Structures are given as structure tokens and as C-alpha cells.
Structure 1
Amino acid sequence: MRSILDINVLEWVTDSIGPNSDITSIEPLKGGISSSVYRVSVKKNGETETFVLRLFTNEEWLLEEPDLACHEAESLQVARRTSLPVPELVAVDEYGKACGKPAVLMSKLAGHVDLDPGENWYNQLAAALVKIHTVTAASLPWHYFSYTDILSASVPSWSNIPDQWERAFKILKEKPPHNQTCLIHRDFHPANVLWKDGRITGIVDWVNACQGPAGTDLGHCRANLAMLHGVPAADQFLQSYESIAGRGSLYHPFWDLRAFADFALPGPPTVYQGWIDLGVKNLTDDLMKKRTDDYLISILERFLNEAL
């Protein structure tokens, strides 16, 4: 079989799966933009199994975090403590000794990405995130940090509300409020959730998982929803999360703001390539700019409500 992967990668995959394993097909998967991801079908003892192979090919990312494969492998094992469907780790080539690039081989979960809210869509997304946040993750050596240096950040020239960004920076320079420290996914959003027959069948892309404040996960997903469907979608998700988490939810808009600074800066905002790859056609860069401003205003309004 002619392959799109190097022979050393193929040999590592079959060796990892076990004796009598033959690769029958390899297909690139859409939606990932920071690494190369493939669906790999393998015939073993007459039965066909499907796996996902992730190769970390982004050199800039690897320079910043050379332990990416190890990070995802450990995160997968911690995440499987939840009752959520999470890929099972098969093998990890931590620094690319076998594959030439760091690699993670994992089980393939059933389902597909569904970016169109349907009945109970928000509630299921929120319930999944609440379950993630029930895990303490004390064994994970990776800890939350902000991707944005607020002290050196400047008001974005592309925004139509520079005064609101000034206010946001002032708030972010203050001491963070208390928030629950637990397992956080750090990239939880609809494009990393699989569905089948109206039910969630998988949570994927655990490479950034760590110990951290639950509010940053909530804020990151809300930012994605605000860009994808508008501010009302972000607010609906928050309502669902708080309803399900109950008293366990310690929501504070500060974490929305911090997650959004990481999401939006330095900008300018553009349509996420992962959404385009998944078939979204109704978004434009101009709309992303407008929704970015709209969402920032909505977060800052929540600070006024907190003060009442």
C-alpha cells in the first residue's frame, strides 16, 4: 500500500498495536491546525480496528513545549478517570525517536463534530465540562498559565472599542478571584467534541490539559461560542453550566476576560481555519471583529452585575 506516512512511522504504529497488524488505510483528519492527525485502519487477526495518530509537526510549538506528546499521553490517562468518552492511549513516541516527530497513537472514538446547536446541545456540552472539572488532576505536572502578558499588551488597533479594552486590561492586572483548581482541558470547544445520534460520544485533543482554574475552561468555550454563533450562544452555555454544576460553580467574569484575552489577542480576529475545514461557511473576518467587540462588552457588563 502506498502511504502518505514515512515507513518508520508505519512500523512504529504496527509495532505498537502488536503482532499480525497490517495497516489497510490512512486518512488525514480535518479540523486540526496545530499538528497532523490521521485515521489509521489496521487489520489484526482478521478484525479491523481504527486508531488516531497525531504527529506533532509544528516546529515553533515544539520549541516552546518539547514535551507535547508526553503531555497529551499523560492527560489522556488522567482524563479517563471521568465517566466521559475519552480516547484510550495506545502508544507515545515522546520525542520522535521512532517517528522522526513526537507522536501519540490512540483509539478512534465514534462520532463526528456537530457545530449546529440542536435540542439539548448546550446542556450536554456543559455537562461534559462539569464532569471534567470534578477531577483534581494532582498528578499532572502541568499548570495553568496565561498565554497573554497583560503587562505588555496594548489596545488592539482593529477594535472599535479601545476604551473597553483599556478597562479590560485594568481589570486583568488586578488579583484574580478564587476559583476551583481542577483538571482543565484548556481547549474545550465544540470542534473538540464528537456526537452521534444526538449524544456526545467523545472529547478529544487533550494536549493542553493541566491543573488550573475551572473558569478558564468555561471562558474559553464561551469565547468560541460567541464567535461561532454570537453572544447569546455563549450566555446559553453559561446558564447550562451553572444549572448543572449548582453550588459547585464559582463563576466570575474575570476568568471569562482572561480566557478571552488569550483567545483574541493580539489579533486581528479571523475565521478559525478549523471551522472552515469542518464546513462552516456563514462567517467572515469582519463578523469576527464585530463579535469580538460585542463579546468583550458583554463580559464587562457582567462585572457591573457582580458589583450590584
Structure 2
Amino acid sequence: MHELPEKVQRWVSDAVGDGTQVATATGLRQGANPWFLTFEPGGSVEAAVLRLGNPADPDHCQRFATEVAALQVAGNHQLPAARLIATDLDGSAASALAVLTTVLPGHSQIPTVASTERLQGLGATAAALQAVPLAPRAALPLRTRSIADVDFAAQRREKGTTALLTVAEERLEQLPAPGGPTVFVHGDLWFGNTLWSGDRCTGLVDWDCAGAGSPGIDLSGARFDAALMFGLPAAEQVLDGWQRTAGRRAERVAYWDVVAALGTLADMAFCVPALHDQGRSDLHADLLGRRRDAFLSTALSRLDADDQ
């Protein structure tokens, strides 16, 4: 057993029922939380995923409430997401914030080369979300960008920025934010938050940045990640998959591409550990920075001509 407190184990066992006991707990993110649990043979559940948080931390409380609300919406609309088994959103039963879910098939390891099918599949997954209309609510607030609870602009002001990032910030300030109805957004749609079986996307995980917003948030978030992982042409395959599935042309792509690229720091080293954890040890800060800048420069050049 790997560092799961006894009270948490009892809570999990009670939630699963049938007297089932936790057999193993394996950290899924750099050897830690969330946890992949297996159970002693004979029960009705063979495995589950457990996410834990600190009930004294308001940010954790908000993230867990968002995760649960998002999984409920996803379940109601048959989206590729885990199903809830049990929750403790105040820590009273488990002595921690706790969300226990079913296990989705597939893995999140990112290949060094992506097929057209995989890239288009990521776009198709983003398009499935935009088909769900959603008004903002307390647990699923209005989102205007990915990873909305991290102020990347403030961090760049503190740690340093680049001329290109500064130009992009100033350019966005001159433009009105796109309007229109809001839809269900994942809010952190990158390959590390997707599961795959071959080239088929089997699910999305880590819903704690979800909310209501423009379809462009997830589409360009996925496009930007594809460009970082595989190079600029990969982003166009994601767009193609999105448009094929949505049955329409995506709107304001250049605008949302700029927004997505601004969800970074000048030094891309900040995201390297997460990428290495997903199997991409070939990626380093300099390469990621060049790919980020190529994506952002292309988006800026398209802004004035963007008549979408």
C-alpha cells in the first residue's frame, strides 16, 4: 500500500461496498495523487481512480466541486469521461476531499510521432464537448481561457517575458472578446489529459478547470498542444477533426490560438516535467519555446485577416 491513510482506505471500501478492501494504490502523476486503486478479488469493483485534496484549501474545494459537476454533465451527455462512484466534498468522511471514479480504458502516454487519426481524434473530442450548451454556474463558472485559475500574465510580469508575448498581449487587449452562447468546456485539453487505445480517444481526465465558455477554448488549447508536441502542421489536423465532427467551420480560430499560446511563461521549462512524465523526454524548453513562438506568430499574422 502506498501512502493512503487508513481513514481514506475505509472510506473507499465503504463507497465500493461488499466489504471490498483496497489492495494497491499507484500514483498516476509523477508517482502521486491521483491514485489508481485495485481491490482484493471477489468484490464488484476491480479498480478505481481516487483524487484527494485538502478541505482547508479553498482552491482545492473549488477544483473538486468543479470536477464533480463536470463529470455529472459529461455523464448526462455520454461524453468520454469516468463515472462517479462516490464523493466527499467537505472531507468529513474521508478526512480529505475525495472523488472516486470508474477507470477508463487506455493510457495517456504521448507518442513522439502522431498519426493523422490521433490528431483528428483530439479535434473530434473537443467538438463533442462544444455540442453541449451550458450556462455558467457556481461549480462550472464562465471560462475565457484554458487553466483559467493560473494568471500567466502576472507570472510573466514577475519572472520576465519576451517581445513576442508582449505584442500578443497588447494585440488581444485591442480586440473585443468573442460573444455568443457558451458551451461545456474542459478547460485544460491537452494530450496528457486524454486517454488512448491505439489512435482512438477513450476518455478525458482532470476536469477541475471545466466550465462554460467558447468552443474556441478547447479547440485552440488542443491545437496549441499538438503544435508543441509534434510541430505546427499538427494543429491543422486537430482543426480538421473538429470541423468534420462539428459539421461546421470553427470561428475566430486565430484569436483563440493567441489566447492558448498566452497560457505559458517565457521559459517553457515550467511544463517540461509534466511532458517527461507522459513519455516525452525528447522535449526540452528551447524546442518548446520555438514551437510556441511559431504557433503564436502564425496566429498573430492571421488575426487581421480572420473574418470568421
Q: TM-score range by the shorter chain?
A: 0.7 to 0.9
Q: What is residue 132 of structure 1 aligned with on the other side?
A: 129
User: How far apart, CA to CA, are the structure 1 residues paired with 2:122 and 2:234?
Assistant: 12
Tell me how far apart the structure 2 counterparts of residues 138 and 166 of structure 1 sit (CA, whole Å): 32
The residue number in structure 1 matching 2:215 is 214
Corresponding residue SS for 1:183: strand
Q: Which moved more, 1:279-288 or 1:111-120?
A: 111-120
Given the two structures, how large is their TM-score scaled by the length of structure 1? 0.86
SS in 1 for 2:248: helix
Q: Which residue of 2 aligns with 1:234?
A: 235
Aligned amino acid, residue 119 of structure 2: Y
Is the aligned partner of 1:30 residue 2:29?
yes
Q: CA deviation at 1:63?
A: 4.0
Contact 1:179 / 1:214 at 8 angstroms: preserved in 2? no
Distance in 2 between residues matched to 1:82 and 1:202, nearest whole Å: 13
- Following superposition, the deviation at residue 149 of structure 1 comes to 7.7
> What is aligned with 1:13?
12
Contact 1:69 1:95 in 2 (8 A): no
- Larger mean CA deviation between 294-303 and 148-157 belongs to 148-157
- 2:281 aligned residue: 281
CA contact (8 A) 2:110 2:279 kept: no
1:50-65 alignment to 2 at 5 Å? 50-56=47-53, 62-64=57-59
Report the Cα offset of residue 66 of structure 1: 2.7
Q: Which structure 2 segments of 5+ residues have no match?
A: none
Matches within 5 A, 1:127-276: 127-138=124-135, 140-141=137-138, 142-146=141-145, 147=148, 148=151, 154=157, 157=160, 159=162, 162=163, 164-173=164-173, 174-247=175-248, 249-261=250-262, 263-265=263-265, 267-270=266-269, 271-276=271-276
In structure 2, distance between residues paired with 1:22 and 1:137? 39
CA shift, 1:41, in A, is: 1.1
Unaligned stretches of 5+ residues in structure 1: none
The RMSD of aligned alpha carbons is: 2.8
Q: Residues 139 and 177 from structure 1, CA distance in 2 versus in 1: closer, same or farther, beyond 3 angstroms? A: closer
In 1, the alpha carbon distance for the partners of 2:221 and 2:7 equals 37
Contact kept, 8 Å, 1:188 with 1:221, in 2: the verdict is: yes
2:272–2:285 contact (8 Å) kept in structure 1? no
